[in-house]
Amino acid sequence: MDLAAKLAVLADAAKYDASCASSGSNKRHSRDGKGLGSTTGSGICHSYTPDGRCVSLLKILLTNFCIYDCLYCINRKSSDVRRARFTPDEVVQLTLDFYRRNYIEGLFLSSGIIRNPDYTMEQVVKVARTLRVEHSFRGYIHLKTIPEAAPELIAEAGRWADRISINVELPDLQTLAPEKNIWRIRTSMTVIQQKIEQSKAERRESVKAPSFAPGGQSTQMIVGATPTPDRAILAQASTLYGAHRLRRVYYSAFSPIPSASSKLPLIAPPLVREHRLYQADWLMRFYGFDVAEITSEAQPDLPLDVDPKLAGAVRNVASFPVDLNRAPRELLLRVPGLGVRNVDRILGMRRWHRLTLADLTKLRVPLSKALPFIVTADHVPKLVAQLPAAQRQLDLFVPATT
């Protein structure tokens, strides 16, 4: 098989991983002309594919041969997909060739498991080591690690990589991935986290101390392959952000794969649901929302027709309306349609300027969404009963006995 044919197979096999981020690492450059590449801290998307996803890294598998049989995965051993395998040198060369032409920020390498976890991890680490040591490559490297691999190999992966990930895939992993174990994954994440923190502390003492995955670790969860509700998915994410300090949790709408196992749904990927999960994740990370505020026991799934912030506001209608000219930051952040940037702008100008609806239009606040929840110098909302039908339909809020 020639290089182009291998690339087709091994890019195709990698596309179910949603992450392509190249952000959050140390800043590096090669101004001295000795190496190649730089990282600026905030990643760059070099292209976008028609699925709306960013192309930032060369995201490929070293091989899609695999001895495991995870049912949701196109590369599982029982799948009849076409197989290919790169040599480590081929991946190194491709990365350098693409990088020099400014197609990518770096490499995201993962692999099916061949022979055994250690052998596979060694091959993956070899690519990263060759790039860093032989070519002084200073671009971004993201390595997917195998929790079953020896700790020394994971340690070396972190030495060369900017980011490390292990995919959780499913809160109820074992049902579909017989060889995998969520607790082993969580243990690996803990070990990695300790190394990240240790290296950060050492580097504060001395800049010469080796770095360890300075871009942190991330993971991915598949959505819609099993009946797991959003509440369980978000609870899992919340634990991962809290206990394991993960940098990012990615949600990937389960996408039908060729020759799928009969235990899986053969339907279009639930893209709206995936979008709502990202919105909820955002609310948890940047707005201080808690899982219990976004979903409930009775309604464990996020509504699809409205965004989670609006749904939450409708449910907690008693804490509205919020006076934009007086309310504290925490309350402003709960207003549907108001983002962090605009909240800060509003706070910045209130001392000198009383906000009106015209101002909000200028700030591009979606008024139709915000109006029922806010008070401005020239606006007091109508009663809740007069909310647009779409919001009432949610029947999430108990009409206050007015």
Partner 1 sequence: MFDGPMDAPAPALPTAKHRVPRAFVDMARRVACHRDLQRWALLYRILFRLTHGEGHLLNIAVDPDIHLLVRMEKAVRRDVHKMRAFVRFRTVTAEDGEAWYVAWFEPEHYIVEANAPFFTDRFASMRWSILTPDRCAHWDGAVLHFTAGLTRAEAPDADAVEPLWRQYYANIFNPARVKTHAMQKEMPKRYWKNLPEAELIPDLIRQAPGRVETMLARSHAQQTPGDSK
Which residue ranges make up the site for ligand SF4 (CB under 6 A)?
66, 68, 70, 73, 75-76, 112-113
- In the complex with ligand SF4, which residue's Cβ is closer, 76 or 163? 76
Among 120, 226, 255, 295, binds partner 1 (CB under 8 A): 255
Residues 6+ apart with CB under 8 A from 18: 53, 220, 250, 251, 252
- Min dist CB 37 to partner 1, Å, is 6
- Min dist CB 33 to ligand SF4, Å, is 39
- Min dist CB 168 to partner 1, Å, is 20
- Asked if 78 interacts with partner 1 (CB under 8 A), we say no
- In the complex with ligand SF4, which residue's Cβ is closer, 261 or 325? 261
- In the complex with ligand SF4, which residue's Cβ is closer, 116 or 368? 116
Task: List the structure tokens of 275.
Answer: 């979008």
- Asked if 167 interacts with partner 1 (CB under 8 A), we say no
Choose one: 93-101, 180-188, 311-319, 321-329; the region binding partner 1 (CB under 8 A): 93-101
The option from partner 1, ligand SF4, none interacting with 255 (CB < 5 to 8 A, set by class) reads partner 1
The option from ligand SF4, partner 1, none interacting with 170 (CB < 5 to 8 A, set by class) reads none
- Min dist CB 188 to partner 1, Å, is 27
Binding mask 21-50 for partner 1 (x = CB under 8 A): --------xxxxxxxxxx-x---xxxxxxx
Site residue total, partner 1 (CB under 8 A): 67
- In the complex with partner 1, which residue's Cβ is closer, 49 or 401? 49
Among 243, 349, 383, 400, binds partner 1 (CB under 8 A): 349
- Min dist CB 308 to partner 1, Å, is 19
Among 206, 351, 385, 395, binds partner 1 (CB under 8 A): 351
User: With contact defined as beta carbons under 8 Å apart, do 28 and 138 qualify?
Assistant: yes
- In the complex with partner 1, which residue's Cβ is closer, 188 or 342? 342
Q: Which residues bind partner 1 (CB under 8 A)?
A: 3-4, 7-9, 11-12, 14-16, 29-38, 40, 44-55, 58-60, 94, 97-98, 100-103, 253, 255-260, 262, 265-266, 268-269, 271, 345, 348-349, 351-353, 355, 358-359, 362-363
